[in-house]
């Protein structure tokens, strides 16, 4: 069986992408939780040692298939799409598939202002913080505007609840962004709110959120806006 190494569900947006993709697609896997702590980034930390034992990158998520490790969320998505072609994790149309890969790559390497200012925190209501961020950070507003334009175009083009018709890698990729927009209360049009609600209602996403809320962890370096839970 596949093994997926992840970090804390409340904070790890990168882990969420791969976990939701597998869960929502109905692909069996074993979860291996490697919790982060205050010494996570130290070379000798238990987190680093656990992840380095399966991946030379030393970061999560890592997918392991019969001893073979795949790291990086895009590589994981491509691997499972090829291994389970019947799941149709990418759009079947060649141009739609290229566009889906393009926006996932854009998410993978872009939106730095939104990532930096609004780290994922599913458990917290950070709407007051979000209002200040929205007021003071034009780069965050620009990132959100790009998301609004992207999603609006795709939803209109495909006339479907998800970005490319049925659930795909793209929706899994943007699920953590939906969490950020919601928890920081960043203003978006109703059409985008509706899409975010549909993503949040996916069984795979809901399962991740429920388990994130049950963790009750508090990792200080992932909490730039709170001193306690």
pLDDT in tens, 97-143: 999 999 999 999 999 999 999 999 999 999 999 999 999 999 999 99
- Using DSSP's 3-state secondary structure scheme, residue 84 falls into coil
**Under 8 Å between Cβ of 33 and 61:** no
List of long-range contacts for 201-207, beta carbons under 8 Å, 24+ apart: 202/20, 202/24, 202/167, 202/171, 202/175, 203/23, 203/24, 204/19, 204/20, 204/21, 204/22, 204/23, 204/24, 204/25, 204/172, 205/20, 205/24, 205/175, 207/23
Smallest Cα–Cα separation from 80: which of 35, 26, 154? Answer: 26
Mean pLDDT across the chain: 95
| Rounded Cα distance, 191 and 155, in Å | 9
Paired residues of 3 in beta bridges: 30, 64
Q: Does residue 141 have a cis bond before it (omega within 30 degrees)?
A: no
Three-state secondary structure of 194-220: HHHHHHHHCHHHHHHHHHHHHHCCCCH
Structure tokens at 198: 């549909």
Smallest Cα–Cα separation from 100: which of 173, 203, 5, 181? Answer: 173
Smallest Cα–Cα separation from 29: which of 56, 5, 53, 60? Answer: 5
Q: Which residue has the tokens 């965050």?
A: 140
| Rounded Cα distance, 189 and 185, in Å | 12
| Rounded Cα distance, 56 and 27, in Å | 25
Question: pLDDT tens digits, the chain, 229 residues: what are they?
Answer: 999 999 999 999 999 999 999 999 999 999 999 998 666 666 668 888 889 999 998 999 999 999 999 999 999 999 999 999 999 999 999 999 999 999 999 999 999 999 999 999 999 999 999 999 999 999 999 999 999 999 999 999 999 999 999 999 999 999 999 999 999 999 999 999 999 999 999 999 999 999 999 999 899 889 999 988 8
Strand extents, DSSP E, 49-203: 62-65, 68-71
Domain boundaries, the chain: 2-87+214-222, 94-211
The residues near 109 (Cβ < 8 Å, ≥ 6 apart) are none
Q: What is the domain class of 2-87+214-222 according to CATH? A: alpha beta
Give the CATH fold of the 94-211 domain. Glutathione S-transferase Yfyf (Class Pi); Chain A, domain 2 (1.20.1050)
Q: What is the pLDDT of residue 45?
A: 82
**Under 8 Å between Cβ of 25 and 89:** yes
């Amino acid at each position: 069986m596949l093994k997926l190494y992840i970090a804390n569900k409340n904070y790890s947006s990168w882990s969420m992408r791969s976990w939701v993709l597998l869960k929502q697609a109905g692909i069996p896997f074993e979860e291996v939780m490697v919790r982060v702590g205050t010494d996570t980034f130290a070379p000798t930390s238990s987190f680093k040692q656990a992840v380095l034992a399966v991946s030379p990158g030393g970061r999560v998520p890592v997918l392991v298939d019969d001893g073979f490790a795949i790291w990086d969320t895009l590589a994981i998505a491509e691997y499972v799409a090829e291994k389970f072609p019947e799941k149709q994790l990418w759009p079947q149309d060649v141009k739609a598939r290229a566009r889906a890969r393009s926006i996932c790559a854009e998410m993978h390497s872009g939106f730095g202002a939104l990532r930096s200012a609004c780290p994922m925190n599913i458990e917290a209501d950070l709407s007051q913080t979000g209002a200040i961020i929205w007021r003071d950070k034009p780069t965050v507003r620009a990132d959100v505007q790009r998301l609004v334009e992207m999603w609006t175009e795709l939803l209109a083009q495909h006339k479907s609840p998800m970005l490319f018709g049925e659930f795909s890698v793209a929706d899994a990729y943007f699920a953590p962004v939906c969490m950020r927009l919601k928890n920081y209360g960043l203003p978006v049009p109703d059409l985008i709110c509706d899409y975010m609600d549909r993503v949040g209602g996916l069984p795979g996403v809901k399962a991740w959120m429920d388990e994130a809320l049950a963790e009750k962890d508090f990792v200080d370096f992932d909490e730039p806006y709170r001193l306690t839970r």
